[in-house]
């Protein structure tokens, strides 16, 4: 887990530098916040079982892409595109895969942009590549996903169909608010 933590730290540092550069250039916090985590061993095993992977290191390294996770929380929804383009230009990582849950949200209502990357690291004198997941979302998207995760965690995934449907509806309402606030801001600063 230590090598994943090092990759998380290195990537978080680079994204923090990007955050500061964007703030200087744009004169506001394009990136409001950056959070990161390392998936717990229990969570990794549960994911491997759910996906029917044999529980071994080879399957873990090849198939579990989000052991190191970084969430880049943008102030406004349209800032996500700017940050995504800048991450694509980073010379220190290799992009393996991208998933756009903004254009096509998950059934639950979850919305964000995911980028799976490889971070080059030194390990016992050798160059290795460690996978990490970068999630880019707006503050509103982050609010919804954080609340939804806590609700599902507390109910151990046994949320009623009615409550699941409510969460989907709330995601749409939050998305509309996200758009309206962005439009108001852009109109008043004339970007």
pLDDT along the chain (191 residues), means of 10: 92 97 93 96 91 89 93 95 96 96 92 96 89 97 91 75 89 91 81 49
**Per-residue model confidence (pLDDT) at position 188:** 82
CA angle 17-20-25, nearest 5°?
Answer: 125
Which CATH number goes with the domain that contains 124?
3.30.460.10
Answer yes or no: pTM beyond 0.75.
yes
Q: What is the 3-state secondary structure (H, E, C) of 58-105?
A: HHHHHHCCCCEEEEEEECCCCHHHHHHHHHHCCCCCEEEEEEECCCCC
DSSP type of residue 56? S
105-143 pLDDT, tens digit per residue, is: 998 889 999 999 999 998 888 989 999 999 999 999 999
pLDDT at position 151, please?
86
- Where is 146: in which H helix or E strand? helix 139-154
Domain count, the chain: 1
For the chain, what is the total number of helices (H) and then of strands (E)? 6, 5
Question: Domain containing 102: what range?
Answer: 2-189
Handedness of CA 124, 127, 132, 136 (dihedral sign): positive
């Amino acid at each position: 887990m230590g090598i994943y933590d090092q990759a998380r730290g290195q990537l978080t540092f680079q994204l923090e530098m990007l955050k500061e550069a964007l703030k200087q250039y744009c004169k506001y916090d394009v990136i409001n916040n950056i959070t990161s985590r390392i998936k717990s061993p229990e969570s990794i095993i549960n994911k491997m079982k759910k996906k029917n992977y044999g529980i071994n290191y080879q399957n873990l390294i090849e198939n579990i892409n989000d052991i190191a996770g970084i969430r880049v929380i943008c102030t406004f929804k349209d800032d996500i595109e700017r940050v995504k383009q800048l991450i694509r230009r980073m010379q220190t990582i290799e992009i393996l895969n991208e998933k756009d849950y903004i254009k096509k949200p998950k059934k639950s209502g979850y919305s964000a942009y995911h980028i799976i990357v490889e971070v080059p690291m030194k390990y016992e004198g050798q160059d290795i590549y460690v996978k990490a997941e970068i999630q880019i979302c707006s503050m509103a998207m982050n609010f919804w996903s954080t609340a939804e995760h806590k609700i599902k965690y507390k109910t151990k995934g046994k949320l009623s169909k009615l409550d699941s449907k409510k969460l989907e509806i709330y995601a749409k309402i939050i998305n509309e608010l996200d758009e309206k606030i962005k439009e108001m801001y852009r109109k008043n600063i004339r970007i």
